[in-house]
Protein backbone atom coordinates (compact mmCIF):
# COMPACT_ATOMS: atom_id res chain seq x y z
CA UNK A 1 0.00 0.00 0.00
CA UNK A 2 1.39 3.41 -0.93
CA UNK A 3 1.88 6.14 1.62
CA UNK A 4 -0.91 8.20 0.03
CA UNK A 5 -3.41 5.35 0.31
CA UNK A 6 -2.37 4.69 3.91
CA UNK A 7 -2.81 8.36 4.74
CA UNK A 8 -6.29 8.35 3.16
CA UNK A 9 -7.31 5.21 5.09
CA UNK A 10 -6.21 6.54 8.49
CA UNK A 11 -9.27 8.83 9.05
CA UNK A 12 -11.64 5.93 8.32
CA UNK A 13 -9.80 3.63 10.73
CA UNK A 14 -9.78 6.33 13.38
CA UNK A 15 -13.52 6.92 12.91
CA UNK A 16 -14.28 3.20 13.15
CA UNK A 17 -12.22 2.96 16.33
CA UNK A 18 -14.06 5.89 17.92
CA UNK A 19 -17.43 4.40 16.94
CA UNK A 20 -16.51 1.02 18.44
CA UNK A 21 -15.34 2.67 21.64
CA UNK A 22 -18.58 4.63 21.88
CA UNK A 23 -20.70 1.51 21.43
CA UNK A 24 -18.68 -0.35 24.07
CA UNK A 25 -19.18 2.45 26.58
CA UNK A 26 -22.87 2.61 25.71
CA UNK A 27 -23.24 -1.11 26.38
CA UNK A 28 -21.42 -0.76 29.71
CA UNK A 29 -23.56 2.16 30.87
CA UNK A 30 -25.81 1.10 33.73
CA UNK A 31 -28.62 3.37 32.57
CA UNK A 32 -28.92 1.61 29.23
CA UNK A 33 -28.89 -1.76 30.98
CA UNK A 34 -31.82 -0.63 33.10
CA UNK A 35 -33.69 0.50 29.98
CA UNK A 36 -33.01 -2.83 28.27
CA UNK A 37 -34.23 -4.80 31.29
CA UNK A 38 -37.33 -2.62 31.58
CA UNK A 39 -38.20 -3.08 27.90
CA UNK A 40 -37.65 -6.83 28.18
CA UNK A 41 -39.90 -7.06 31.24
CA UNK A 42 -42.56 -4.99 29.47
CA UNK A 43 -42.44 -7.32 26.46
CA UNK A 44 -42.76 -10.40 28.69
CA UNK A 45 -45.66 -8.77 30.52
CA UNK A 46 -47.48 -8.09 27.24
CA UNK A 47 -46.94 -11.69 26.14
CA UNK A 48 -47.76 -13.60 29.31
CA UNK A 49 -49.98 -11.11 31.14
CA UNK A 50 -53.08 -11.75 28.99
CA UNK A 51 -52.55 -15.51 29.25
CA UNK A 52 -52.41 -15.36 33.05
CA UNK A 53 -55.44 -13.07 33.11
CA UNK A 54 -57.32 -15.52 30.88
CA UNK A 55 -56.68 -18.26 33.41
CA UNK A 56 -57.89 -16.04 36.25
CA UNK A 57 -61.05 -15.04 34.39
CA UNK A 58 -61.85 -18.66 33.60
CA UNK A 59 -62.67 -19.05 37.30
CA UNK A 60 -64.79 -15.91 37.43
CA UNK A 61 -68.56 -16.21 37.74
CA UNK A 62 -68.93 -13.27 35.32
CA UNK A 63 -65.84 -13.32 33.06
CA UNK A 64 -67.30 -10.90 30.51
CA UNK A 65 -67.58 -8.24 33.20
CA UNK A 66 -63.79 -8.13 33.61
CA UNK A 67 -64.04 -8.83 37.35
CA UNK A 68 -62.21 -11.93 38.64
CA UNK A 69 -64.67 -12.35 41.51
CA UNK A 70 -66.69 -14.16 42.69
CA UNK A 71 -64.72 -17.30 41.88
CA UNK A 72 -66.43 -20.46 40.68
CA UNK A 73 -65.73 -23.82 39.03
CA UNK A 74 -69.10 -23.83 37.29
CA UNK A 75 -67.63 -23.15 33.83
CA UNK A 76 -65.22 -26.07 34.16
CA UNK A 77 -68.12 -28.23 35.26
CA UNK A 78 -70.04 -27.31 32.12
CA UNK A 79 -66.94 -27.92 30.02
CA UNK A 80 -66.36 -31.45 31.34
CA UNK A 81 -70.06 -32.23 31.09
CA UNK A 82 -69.95 -31.32 27.39
CA UNK A 83 -68.17 -33.89 25.22
CA UNK A 84 -68.68 -32.09 21.89
CA UNK A 85 -65.17 -30.61 22.01
CA UNK A 86 -63.44 -34.00 22.35
CA UNK A 87 -63.60 -34.88 18.65
CA UNK A 88 -62.36 -31.47 17.36
CA UNK A 89 -59.55 -31.57 19.90
CA UNK A 90 -58.47 -35.07 18.83
CA UNK A 91 -58.63 -34.11 15.15
CA UNK A 92 -56.48 -31.03 15.76
CA UNK A 93 -53.88 -33.07 17.65
CA UNK A 94 -53.68 -35.77 14.96
CA UNK A 95 -53.59 -33.17 12.19
CA UNK A 96 -50.86 -31.23 13.96
CA UNK A 97 -48.77 -34.39 14.43
CA UNK A 98 -49.14 -35.28 10.74
CA UNK A 99 -48.15 -31.76 9.66
CA UNK A 100 -45.21 -31.74 12.07
CA UNK A 101 -43.93 -35.10 10.80
CA UNK A 102 -44.27 -34.07 7.15
CA UNK A 103 -42.54 -30.73 7.74
CA UNK A 104 -39.67 -32.41 9.58
CA UNK A 105 -39.06 -34.98 6.83
CA UNK A 106 -39.53 -32.74 3.79
CA UNK A 107 -37.76 -29.80 5.43
CA UNK A 108 -34.73 -31.94 6.30
CA UNK A 109 -34.28 -33.25 2.77
CA UNK A 110 -34.85 -29.83 1.18
CA UNK A 111 -32.48 -28.05 3.57
CA UNK A 112 -29.75 -30.64 2.88
CA UNK A 113 -30.26 -30.14 -0.84
CA UNK A 114 -30.23 -26.33 -0.63
CA UNK A 115 -26.84 -26.12 1.07
CA UNK A 116 -25.36 -28.24 -1.71
CA UNK A 117 -26.70 -26.05 -4.54
CA UNK A 118 -24.50 -23.40 -6.09
CA UNK A 119 -27.39 -20.93 -6.39
CA UNK A 120 -30.10 -21.85 -3.87
CA UNK A 121 -31.72 -18.41 -3.88
CA UNK A 122 -34.50 -19.19 -6.36
CA UNK A 123 -35.56 -22.43 -4.70
CA UNK A 124 -35.40 -20.86 -1.24
CA UNK A 125 -37.51 -17.91 -2.39
CA UNK A 126 -40.24 -20.19 -3.75
CA UNK A 127 -40.22 -22.29 -0.56
CA UNK A 128 -40.54 -19.22 1.70
CA UNK A 129 -43.03 -17.31 -0.44
CA UNK A 130 -46.12 -18.54 1.49
CA UNK A 131 -44.83 -16.59 4.50
CA UNK A 132 -45.67 -13.34 2.73
CA UNK A 133 -49.09 -14.36 1.36
CA UNK A 134 -52.06 -13.66 3.66
CA UNK A 135 -53.72 -16.75 5.07
CA UNK A 136 -57.09 -15.63 3.77
CA UNK A 137 -55.67 -15.50 0.25
CA UNK A 138 -54.04 -18.93 0.44
CA UNK A 139 -57.17 -20.47 1.92
CA UNK A 140 -59.41 -18.99 -0.77
CA UNK A 141 -56.98 -19.97 -3.55
CA UNK A 142 -56.76 -23.57 -2.35
CA UNK A 143 -60.54 -23.74 -1.98
CA UNK A 144 -61.11 -22.50 -5.53
CA UNK A 145 -58.51 -24.88 -6.95
CA UNK A 146 -59.44 -28.01 -5.00
CA UNK A 147 -63.22 -27.65 -4.67
CA UNK A 148 -64.34 -25.50 -7.60
CA UNK A 149 -61.81 -26.43 -10.29
CA UNK A 150 -61.06 -30.07 -9.45
CA UNK A 151 -64.41 -30.81 -7.81
CA UNK A 152 -62.83 -32.66 -4.87
CA UNK A 153 -64.58 -33.18 -1.55
CA UNK A 154 -62.78 -31.29 1.17
CA UNK A 155 -61.87 -32.83 4.49
CA UNK A 156 -58.90 -33.69 6.66
CA UNK A 157 -56.64 -34.13 3.62
CA UNK A 158 -57.33 -30.58 2.40
CA UNK A 159 -56.75 -29.25 5.92
CA UNK A 160 -53.43 -31.08 5.91
CA UNK A 161 -52.42 -29.39 2.64
CA UNK A 162 -53.42 -25.92 3.88
CA UNK A 163 -51.62 -26.34 7.20
CA UNK A 164 -48.57 -27.81 5.47
CA UNK A 165 -48.33 -24.81 3.14
CA UNK A 166 -48.43 -22.50 6.17
CA UNK A 167 -46.08 -24.36 8.51
CA UNK A 168 -43.47 -25.66 6.07
CA UNK A 169 -41.59 -22.36 5.46
CA UNK A 170 -41.07 -21.89 9.20
CA UNK A 171 -39.86 -25.48 9.57
CA UNK A 172 -37.49 -25.08 6.63
CA UNK A 173 -35.92 -21.97 8.14
CA UNK A 174 -35.31 -23.68 11.48
CA UNK A 175 -33.73 -26.72 9.86
CA UNK A 176 -31.75 -24.60 7.40
CA UNK A 177 -30.08 -22.72 10.26
CA UNK A 178 -28.48 -25.88 11.67
CA UNK A 179 -27.84 -27.34 8.21
CA UNK A 180 -25.76 -24.33 7.15
CA UNK A 181 -23.58 -24.71 10.24
CA UNK A 182 -22.98 -28.41 9.59
CA UNK A 183 -19.38 -29.26 8.65
CA UNK A 184 -19.46 -31.33 5.45
CA UNK A 185 -15.89 -32.51 6.16
CA UNK A 186 -17.32 -34.89 8.75
CA UNK A 187 -19.26 -36.72 6.02
CA UNK A 188 -16.23 -36.74 3.74
CA UNK A 189 -14.08 -38.24 6.50
CA UNK A 190 -16.67 -40.95 7.18
CA UNK A 191 -16.90 -41.79 3.48
CA UNK A 192 -13.12 -42.07 3.28
CA UNK A 193 -13.32 -44.64 6.09
CA UNK A 194 -15.84 -46.70 4.07
CA UNK A 195 -19.16 -45.56 5.56
CA UNK A 196 -22.21 -45.73 3.28
CA UNK A 197 -24.27 -42.53 2.66
CA UNK A 198 -27.21 -43.79 4.74
CA UNK A 199 -24.91 -44.65 7.66
CA UNK A 200 -23.25 -41.24 7.42
CA UNK A 201 -26.63 -39.55 7.59
CA UNK A 202 -27.98 -41.61 10.50
CA UNK A 203 -24.85 -41.66 12.64
CA UNK A 204 -23.27 -38.26 11.93
CA UNK A 205 -25.55 -35.77 10.23
CA UNK A 206 -28.94 -36.54 11.80
CA UNK A 207 -27.83 -36.23 15.47
CA UNK A 208 -26.27 -32.83 14.76
CA UNK A 209 -29.35 -31.62 12.88
CA UNK A 210 -31.83 -33.01 15.42
CA UNK A 211 -32.25 -29.78 17.48
CA UNK A 212 -33.35 -27.88 14.39
CA UNK A 213 -35.53 -30.75 13.16
CA UNK A 214 -37.19 -31.14 16.54
CA UNK A 215 -37.79 -27.40 16.85
CA UNK A 216 -39.31 -27.40 13.37
CA UNK A 217 -41.66 -30.22 14.37
CA UNK A 218 -42.79 -28.47 17.55
CA UNK A 219 -43.34 -25.17 15.76
CA UNK A 220 -45.22 -26.86 12.90
CA UNK A 221 -47.49 -28.65 15.36
CA UNK A 222 -48.33 -25.40 17.15
CA UNK A 223 -49.02 -23.57 13.89
CA UNK A 224 -51.33 -26.35 12.70
CA UNK A 225 -53.10 -26.74 16.05
CA UNK A 226 -53.96 -23.01 16.19
CA UNK A 227 -54.74 -22.46 12.49
CA UNK A 228 -58.16 -20.92 11.77
CA UNK A 229 -58.13 -18.79 8.61
CA UNK A 230 -57.15 -21.52 6.17
CA UNK A 231 -59.24 -24.08 8.04
CA UNK A 232 -62.46 -22.16 7.45
CA UNK A 233 -62.00 -22.57 3.69
CA UNK A 234 -60.61 -26.10 3.57
CA UNK A 235 -62.37 -27.98 6.36
CA UNK A 236 -65.37 -29.26 4.41
CA UNK A 237 -67.52 -30.94 7.07
CA UNK A 238 -64.64 -31.38 9.51
CA UNK A 239 -64.28 -29.30 12.67
CA UNK A 240 -60.93 -28.58 14.29
CA UNK A 241 -60.36 -27.07 17.70
CA UNK A 242 -59.90 -23.44 16.55
CA UNK A 243 -63.01 -23.70 14.35
CA UNK A 244 -64.97 -25.13 17.29
CA UNK A 245 -63.83 -22.33 19.62
CA UNK A 246 -64.68 -19.72 17.01
CA UNK A 247 -68.13 -21.21 16.47
CA UNK A 248 -68.82 -21.30 20.20
CA UNK A 249 -67.64 -17.73 20.74
CA UNK A 250 -69.74 -16.40 17.84
CA UNK A 251 -72.92 -18.34 18.63
CA UNK A 252 -76.08 -16.48 19.61
CA UNK A 253 -76.16 -18.25 22.97
CA UNK A 254 -72.83 -17.03 24.25
CA UNK A 255 -70.41 -19.81 25.17
CA UNK A 256 -67.50 -17.46 25.89
CA UNK A 257 -67.06 -18.55 29.55
CA UNK A 258 -66.66 -22.16 28.43
CA UNK A 259 -64.21 -21.04 25.74
CA UNK A 260 -62.18 -19.32 28.47
CA UNK A 261 -62.07 -22.55 30.49
CA UNK A 262 -61.20 -24.69 27.47
CA UNK A 263 -58.42 -22.32 26.36
CA UNK A 264 -56.99 -22.26 29.87
CA UNK A 265 -57.06 -26.04 30.04
CA UNK A 266 -55.20 -26.33 26.73
CA UNK A 267 -52.59 -23.81 27.88
CA UNK A 268 -52.13 -25.62 31.18
CA UNK A 269 -51.31 -28.82 29.29
CA UNK A 270 -49.37 -27.58 26.26
CA UNK A 271 -47.10 -24.97 27.86
CA UNK A 272 -45.44 -27.33 30.39
CA UNK A 273 -45.08 -30.03 27.73
CA UNK A 274 -43.47 -27.63 25.24
CA UNK A 275 -41.25 -26.18 27.95
CA UNK A 276 -40.05 -29.66 28.92
CA UNK A 277 -39.33 -30.53 25.28
CA UNK A 278 -37.31 -27.36 24.73
CA UNK A 279 -35.39 -28.00 27.93
CA UNK A 280 -34.51 -31.56 26.88
CA UNK A 281 -33.54 -30.51 23.36
CA UNK A 282 -31.64 -27.29 23.97
CA UNK A 283 -30.99 -26.31 27.58
CA UNK A 284 -29.66 -29.68 28.69
CA UNK A 285 -27.40 -29.98 25.62
CA UNK A 286 -26.11 -26.45 26.14
CA UNK A 287 -25.12 -27.24 29.72
**pLDDT score of 67:** 78
Please tell me whether residues 154 and 274 are part of one structural domain. yes
CB of 236 within 8 A of CB of 154?
Answer: yes
3-state secondary structure of 16: helix
**CA–centroid distance for 221 within its chain:** 8
Check whether residue 96 and residue 137 sit in a common domain.
Answer: yes
Does residue 150 share a domain with residue 8? no
Q: How many domains are contained in the chain?
A: 2
Q: Is residue 64 situated within a structural domain?
A: no
Please report whether residue 65 resides in a domain: no
Q: What is the b/e burial string over 19-48, where b = at least 16 CB atoms within 10 angstroms of the residue's CB?
A: eeeeeeeeeeeeeeeeeeeeeeeeeeeeee
**CB count, 10 Å around CB of 155?**
13
Q: Are residues 13 and 113 in the same domain?
A: no
98/216 same-domain check: yes
What pLDDT is attached to residue 90? 93
Q: Which of 57, 84, 103 is the C-terminal boundary of a domain?
A: 57
Q: Which domain holds residue 9?
A: 3-57
Q: Is residue 67 part of a domain?
A: no
Phi-psi region of 151 (alpha: psi -120 to 50; beta: other; left: phi over 0): left
Residue-level pLDDT, tens digit, the chain, 287 residues: 455 555 555 556 566 676 677 666 655 655 667 778 788 889 999 988 888 888 888 888 877 777 778 888 888 888 888 888 889 999 999 999 999 999 999 999 999 899 888 888 888 899 998 889 888 899 999 999 998 888 889 999 999 999 999 999 999 999 998 898 888 888 888 888 888 888 888 888 888 888 889 889 988 998 999 899 899 999 989 999 989 888 887 775 567 777 888 888 888 877 787 777 777 666 655 55
Q: Is residue 229 part of a domain?
A: yes
Amino acid sequence: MSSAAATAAMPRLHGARIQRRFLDRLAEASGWNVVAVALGCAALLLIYGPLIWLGVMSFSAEPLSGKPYPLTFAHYGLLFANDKWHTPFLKSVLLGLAVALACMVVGTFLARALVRLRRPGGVLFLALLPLFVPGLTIGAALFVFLRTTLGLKLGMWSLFIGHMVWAFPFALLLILIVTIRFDVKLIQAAEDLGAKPLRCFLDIELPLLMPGISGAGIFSFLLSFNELLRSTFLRGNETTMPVYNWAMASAQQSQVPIVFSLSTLILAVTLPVMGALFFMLFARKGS
